Amino acid sequence: MSETIRTLSLIMVCAPLLGSILAGLFSKILGRKGSHRATIGLMLVSLGCAIAIWILVIFHGGSYVGTIYVWGLSGRYHFDIGFMIDNLTAWLMIVVTFVSTLVHIYSIGYMADDDGYTRFFCYMSLFTFAMLMLITANNFLQLYFGWEGVGLVSYLLIGFWYQKETAVFGSLKAFLVNRVGDFGFIIGIAAVLTYFNTIDYQTVFANAQRLFDANTTISVFPGTHWSVLTVICITLFIGAMGKSAQMPLHVWLPESMEGPTPISALIHAATMVTAGIFMLARMSPLFELSQTALTLVLVIGATGALFTGMVGVVQHDIKRVIAYSTLSQLGYMTAACGASAFAAGIFHLMTHACFKALLFLAAGSVITAMHHEQDLRKMGGLYKYMPITYITFLVGALALSAIPPFAGFYSKDAIIEAVHNSTIPGHTYSYYCVLFGSFVTALYIFRAFFLAFHGKERIPADTKKHLRESPWVMWVPLIALAIPSTVIGALLAYPLLYKANSLFGNSIFVLPKYDVLKGMAANYHGWFSYALHAFITWPFWFAVSGIFTAWFCCWYMPNIREVITRRIAWFYYILVKKYGFDDFNQIVFAHGGRRLGQFFYYVTDAKFIDDYLVNGSGRAIQWGARMVRRIQSGYLYHYAFAMIIGLLVFLGWLEITDTHIGLFKLLTSNYFTVE
């Protein structure tokens, strides 16, 4: 069976690459239709393979770990391209290929009028290829390949409309901030190679316990002795902070909304940004052995979950609201991993992929209907023009707010509960963050919902004339995503999280002392009673009050918002300024880096080295030459005088040191050996 899985995996990974090459290099021959048919057809192949692998792995206990080809051999190390197909990968590849296929189809409608139509499909397929490489990797090299590959395509797609200044600025920022994360990530990989002597997952995981028992330390600063595993985990987590937009490396994600909306759904909500979460779960055998790292993960995640969500409340751009929501939800997933509930994190990743892609695509549907207007203040009352978009957006919003029995409820509630039950330092603070976060989540998403679809129509008159539901290529994916957003929570919560032998198999490793999900399993008695049970828990009522607040302020009594804003002007200002992260980065890193470069260039390089040392030696030689030239005056008496002086000095010197007589004789012997 493993051979079959290997073949299927190869096809699954390579099909999107082929699609990308076809759309990228042969778009002239294929044309627009040909390009999207080729890419979508190959995406369907990939999806089919993913489903086949999923069936083989989940239901027939299959797996595959092996090398595809040797990338490089050096000394005693080998770097390979290979696959590790286990339960975790199987679930993830379903998510990736499913969402990607739908977004491909959706883009036929969304990008219909764009000049870069074929380029867009090329990038999307390329992205899918890189993402699949990332999740199927069996070693850190390939992980890093996929990691950077998705980063590249993200960069290209954020700056897709390359003539738009904000878009290219956003793409550059995204790439640079991600690179800061990758900087940590590559140090982590280097540490793995140094201490495990390999970068293959299996060997690394197998030896992690041994390294832990040996209490190996590294002296990063003189006099300090840090556990190697902690250093490895924290540096790897820095990579995850970049890719999964955790504070303080979250600043690129809101800017990424400058890209086309299908991309926001695929890359910046469903798949790429969750790569960090996937990595945490994949590395669970390492993270479990470092409580320090887990604490860091938990606290960073929970902080992000609350504070980035609050910024979402003051945004006016519909996509930015959802972007901040993504930041907040990624915080939830990270916090889950920090609380050792990796399964809950991955489960939330899956449900989130469905409902967040749904929200983005629905928002995209609104945006195209509104002729690329994204400002919520110019919408309102849209429900009667676009009913399908309206309903599906509502489904997404309910799922996001964790209202039972929608998908988000099962995953998010598990996370909040897991953080609550965790024993890792920092869990109390984190619990309050994620708990209050559920109020904020409901508030911002329903604020956007009411502002866009209900209340007074604030739509410009000329837009209103063309306002209608989007074409079928766009709403079919909406419905296709609304269904799982509703049901997968109830369907999968038990087998993934609470069942004794969960569908994640052995792919996630949790130490018994941290296993919070196991404790929660005792209280789980089927999806229905769990949903009912929600009515007596805090998170549910926080969410409901969030919806109520949104309804009250945005639909029932819209004018009250101004009053509130005035009352807490200072707080509002902080939120609008996004806690000052952007300004800080702009001043310190962007501006400071440029200034430092200019100093190095104009002062050290050009002035000191080049002007002073290099040209200075040139000038010194010229000066010397000028001086020497003066001596050569051309007057015979000058020369005669110099000769006499010279001869006198020479003879005087010989007188003083008669030891040199021998030398003198030697020198003159040629002339005086006549006898």
Partner 1 sequence: MTTTFPLLSVLIWLPIISAGVIMMTGGDENANWARWIAMVASVIGLLLCIPLYTHFDVNTPKMQFVENFVWIKAYGVHYGLGVDGISMPMVILTTITTLVVVLASWTTIKTKVAQYMAAFLVMQGMMVGVFAATDAILFYVFWEGMLIPIYLSIGIWGSANRSYASIKFFLFTFFGSALMLVALLYLRIHSGSFAIESFYPLKLSMIVQIFIFIAFLLAFAVKVPMWPVHTWLPDAHTEAPAGGSVVLAALMLKMGVYGFLRFSLPIVPNACQQLDWLMIVLSLIAIVYIGFVAIAQTDTKRLIAYSSVAHMGFATLGCFMIYLIVKATGNIADAYVSLEGAMVQMISHAFSTGALFVGVGVLYDRLHTRNISDFGGITKPMPIFASFMMLFAMSNVGLPGTSGFVGEFMIILSSFQGNFWVAVFAASTLVIASAYTLWMFKRVFFGQVVRTEIAALKDISALDTMAFTILAAVVLLIGVYPQGLLRVLHASVGHLLQLAHVSKL
Is the backbone of residue 386 left (phi > 0), alpha (psi -120 to 50) or beta? Answer: beta
Nearer to partner 1, 7 or 604 (CB): 604
Strand boundaries in 185-239, DSSP class E: 217-218, 226-227
Nearer to partner 1, 62 or 260 (CB): 260
Binding test (CB under 8 A) with partner 1, winner from 600, 623, 641, 650: 600
CA-wise closest residue to 471 among 79, 46, 112, 24? 112
Least Å distance, CB 647 to partner 1, is: 33
Least Å distance, CB 186 to partner 1, is: 5
Which amino acid appears at position 531 of this protein? A
In whole angstroms, what is the distance from residue 78 CA to residue 62 CA?
26
Nearer to partner 1, 155 or 514 (CB): 155
**Number of H helices and number of E strands within the chain?**
30, 4
Residue 78 DSSP class? E
Binding test (CB under 8 A) with partner 1, winner from 598, 622, 633, 668: 598
Q: Binding pattern to partner 1, positions 58-77, x when CB under 8 A?
A: -----------xxxxxxxxx
In whole angstroms, what is the distance from residue 95 CA to residue 135 CA?
11
CA torsion angle 441 442 445 448 (round to 10): -130
Nearer to partner 1, 102 or 272 (CB): 272
Q: How many C-beta atoms surround the C-beta of residue 221 within 10 A? A: 7
Least Å distance, CB 245 to partner 1, is: 17
Is the backbone of residue 611 left (phi > 0), alpha (psi -120 to 50) or beta? Answer: alpha
Q: Which residues pair with 72 in a beta bridge?
A: 79
The number of angstroms, rounded, from the C-alpha of 409 to the middle of its chain's C-alpha atoms is 25
Least Å distance, CB 600 to partner 1, is: 5
Burial level of 528, CB count in 10 A (0-12/13-18/19+)?
Answer: exposed
Nearer to partner 1, 52 or 176 (CB): 176
In whole angstroms, what is the distance from residue 148 CA to residue 141 CA?
11
Q: How many C-beta atoms surround the C-beta of residue 487 within 10 A? A: 15
In whole angstroms, what is the distance from residue 249 CA to residue 581 CA?
9
Least Å distance, CB 486 to partner 1, is: 39
Binding test (CB under 8 A) with partner 1, winner from 61, 564, 610, 660: 610
In whole angstroms, what is the distance from residue 188 CA to residue 237 CA?
9
Least Å distance, CB 130 to partner 1, is: 9
Q: How many C-beta atoms surround the C-beta of residue 428 within 10 A? A: 11
Backbone angles phi, psi at 26, to 5 degrees: -115, 25
Least Å distance, CB 122 to partner 1, is: 10
Binding test (CB under 8 A) with partner 1, winner from 3, 163, 628, 662: 163
Least Å distance, CB 33 to partner 1, is: 20
CA-wise closest residue to 129 among 5, 3, 10, 244? 10
Total of residues contacting partner 1 (CB under 8 A): 54
Nearer to partner 1, 71 or 432 (CB): 71
Is 597 an interacting residue with respect to partner 1 (CB under 8 A)?
yes
Least Å distance, CB 616 to partner 1, is: 12
Q: Binding pattern to partner 1, positions 557-596, x when CB under 8 A?
A: ------------------------------------xx-x
Nearer to partner 1, 600 or 650 (CB): 600
Residues 6+ apart with CB under 8 A from 582: 251
In whole angstroms, what is the distance from residue 601 CA to residue 612 CA?
14
Q: Binding pattern to partner 1, positions 488-527, x when CB under 8 A?
A: ----------------------------------------
Residue matched to tokens 């945005």 = 554
Binding test (CB under 8 A) with partner 1, winner from 428, 569, 605, 665: 605
Least Å distance, CB 97 to partner 1, is: 21
Least Å distance, CB 148 to partner 1, is: 5
Least Å distance, CB 6 to partner 1, is: 19
In whole angstroms, what is the distance from residue 368 CA to residue 358 CA?
15
Is 220 an interacting residue with respect to partner 1 (CB under 8 A)?
yes
Backbone angles phi, psi at 115, to 5 degrees: -65, -35
Least Å distance, CB 187 to partner 1, is: 6
In whole angstroms, what is the distance from residue 416 CA to residue 516 CA?
11
Of residues 438-457, those binding partner 1 (CB under 8 A)? none
In whole angstroms, what is the distance from residue 591 CA to residue 585 CA?
8
Least Å distance, CB 265 to partner 1, is: 24
Specify the 3-state DSSP secondary structure of 14: helix
Which listed range, 172-180, 246-254, 536-544, 562-570, lies at the site for partner 1 (CB under 8 A)? 172-180
Nearer to partner 1, 428 or 604 (CB): 604
Which listed range, 248-256, 398-406, 598-606, 657-665, lies at the site for partner 1 (CB under 8 A)? 598-606
Identify whether the C-beta of residue 35 lies closer than 8 Å to the C-beta of residue 133.
no
Specify the 3-state DSSP secondary structure of 72: strand
Least Å distance, CB 508 to partner 1, is: 26
Both structure tokens of 501: 């032998």
Nearer to partner 1, 2 or 207 (CB): 207
Q: Binding pattern to partner 1, positions 459-478, x when CB under 8 A?
A: --------------------
CA-wise closest residue to 53 among 104, 94, 20? 94
Strands 77-85 and 226-227: unpaired
Nearer to partner 1, 194 or 537 (CB): 194
Is 614 an interacting residue with respect to partner 1 (CB under 8 A)?
yes
Identify whether the C-beta of residue 396 lies closer than 8 Å to the C-beta of residue 358.
yes
Which listed range, 150-158, 278-286, 300-308, 478-486, lies at the site for partner 1 (CB under 8 A)? 150-158
In whole angstroms, what is the distance from residue 504 CA to residue 351 CA?
15
Residue 32 DSSP class? H
Of residues 410-439, those binding partner 1 (CB under 8 A)? none
Nearer to partner 1, 148 or 200 (CB): 148
Least Å distance, CB 189 to partner 1, is: 7
Nearer to partner 1, 233 or 310 (CB): 233
Of residues 176-215, those binding partner 1 (CB under 8 A)? 176, 179-180, 182-183, 186-187, 189-191, 193-194
Nearer to partner 1, 117 or 144 (CB): 144
Contacting positions for partner 1 (CB under 8 A): 69-77, 141, 144-145, 148-149, 152, 155-156, 159, 162-163, 165, 168-169, 171-172, 175-176, 179-180, 182-183, 186-187, 189-191, 193-194, 218, 220, 593-594, 596-598, 600-602, 604-605, 609-610, 613-614
